[in-house]
Structure 1
Amino acid sequence: MSGVWGWFGGGAAAKKKDTPKNAILDLRTQLDMLQKREKHLMNQMADQDAIARKNINTNKNAAKAALRRKKGHEHSLDQTISQIGTLEQQINAIESANINRETLIVMQRAGDAMKQIHGKLTVDKVDETMDELREQNALSEEIVLAITNNQIGEPVDEDELEAEMEALQQEALDKKMLESGTVPLSVSSDIRNLPSVANPDIKSQALTEDDEEEELRKLQAEMAM
């Protein structure tokens, strides 16, 4: 199967995808070697400097040779440091380029997903859908109004209702009048034309006169006997 993918470009595509990763790995390997060389050259320079200091007064030729070797190590160290800086810049450049490429790929996938989500959806179709929704909502409101304003059954005569209300009010007043023994102000004109109720003092006087008449009759009866 791997051979088939190789023939049709599958292997080439996978290799192309791994190229930045492999390049970074190679650069980091070389960078690690140069950093080790840097430390080694610095140690060599320190050793030659120590030899020169040791022989500066006793063996000038040995001291001069040590300084010469130190200078050679310094030159190599400068080259190594320059190479380290170049490799670090190259690694950063490849990593940035790889991040940009991966970011672009993700953004392209996001764009494809948005296209798939929207499909054939357009602004005109959205406006059309919203208009249809508004029409349906308006129709729903009209239906509700039609139902509430057209109740089932014959309409009620308002005059009949008023007459019935007055009859109920009169009935309540009459009942109250019978219970309290007073005549409300709202009774009919026939009731208002009736004579007013006698004053309690006059009523008491009438009862006294009846008693006196009764006493006279009793005396007449006794005299006759």
Structure 2
Amino acid sequence: MKLFFSKKATPTPKEAIITLRENLAMLEKREAHLQSRIDNELRTARANVTKNKKAAIAALKRKQQLEAQMDKISGSRMTLEAQAMAIEGANVNLETMKAMQKGAEAMKGIHANLSIDKVDQTLDDIRDQMDLSNEVADAISRPEVFGVGIDDDELNAELELLEQEELDNQLLRAEKAPEFLPNAPTEALGGRVAAQLRPGQYQPQQPQHQHQQPQLRQTTNKTESEDELDELSKAMQIAS
């Protein structure tokens, strides 16, 4: 007896949804068949409305009966569709809950060996090691380790001195901006003039100081050849 009245296994949500979808498909086919019969009865009633009123009335009665069956099937379809949607929603909620439970168990496993005290201790250890690393780096980079003492104040003073020297040099170069032109050559010119003059005539004197610094004069558009011609003309005028 237990074999016949044993409790059936609870269907899974997937199995229940499949069963509901199959029944919905069957009801849709039944609705399509009833709609076809309703259309036929309506055509029969229209064809006999003037020729055979009894046949037309009978066709309309059958049409109404078919429409009543179709209304019931439509109600059943709506019920099955609502049930299927509810099962699908419940199944989604169930799977979501399972995922949340697994996530909670995973977090429990992670936090089993983790506490706020351990986190604080780890952060303190990291800070200590970073401080030690910085101290070691500072000690290694000190010049005093190699016997060389460097005073930052002396370096800054020397840097300021170099900057002042550079500034003075720039000012000197700015004051020497006017162009210096050397005197026109007189040795070769004097030789040529002396060769042309007669004995006893006046000759221009050579410059007394060979190493005298060139005089500052303004630049002109005359070339060296024009300067030589001017000197020669002056010498000829004096000689005459």
- Counterparts of 1:132-211 in structure 2, within 5 Å, are 132-149=125-142, 151=145
Does residue 103 of structure 1 match 2:96? yes
Structure 1 residue 139 displacement after superposition: 2.1
CA deviation string 1:150-191 (max 9, x = no partner): 5256x78x9xxxxxxxxxxxxxxxxxxxxxxxxxxxxxxxxx
Residue 45 of structure 2 corresponds to residue 71 of structure 1: no
Aligned to 2:35: 42
Which ranges of 4 or more aligned residues in structure 1 deviate by more than 4 Å? Answer: 147-150
Q: 2:117 aligns with which of 124, 135, 158?
A: 124
- Number of aligned pairs? 144
Deviations 1:25-47, CA, capped at 9 Å, x for gaps? 11111111111111111111111
**Which amino acid in structure 1 is aligned with residue 43 of structure 2?**
A
Question: What is the rounded CA distance, in whole Å, between the counterparts of 1:22 and 1:141 in structure 2?
Answer: 67
| Greater percentage in helix | 1
Secondary structure of the corresponding residue to residue 12 of structure 2: helix
Report the 3-state secondary structure (helix = DSSP H, G, I; strand = E; otherwise coil) of the residue aligned with 1:151.
helix
The percentage of counterpart residues that share the same residue type is 44
The verdict on how the C-alpha distance between 1:129 and 1:57 changes in structure 2, with shifts beyond 3 A counting, is same
Q: How far off is 1:116 after superposition?
A: 2.5
Q: Secondary structure at the match of 1:57?
A: coil
Shift of 1:147: 4.3
Inter-partner Cα distance in structure 1 for 2:141 and 2:73: 94
- The AA in structure 1 aligned to 2:137 is V
* CA apart distance, 1:110: 2.1
Query: Structure 1, residues 50-78: CA drift from partner, whole Å, max 9, x if none?
Result: 11111111111111111000000111111
Q: Which residue of 1 aligns with 2:227?
A: none
Question: Following the alignment from structure 2 to structure 1, what is the Cα–Cα distance between the partners of residues 74 and 140?
Answer: 91
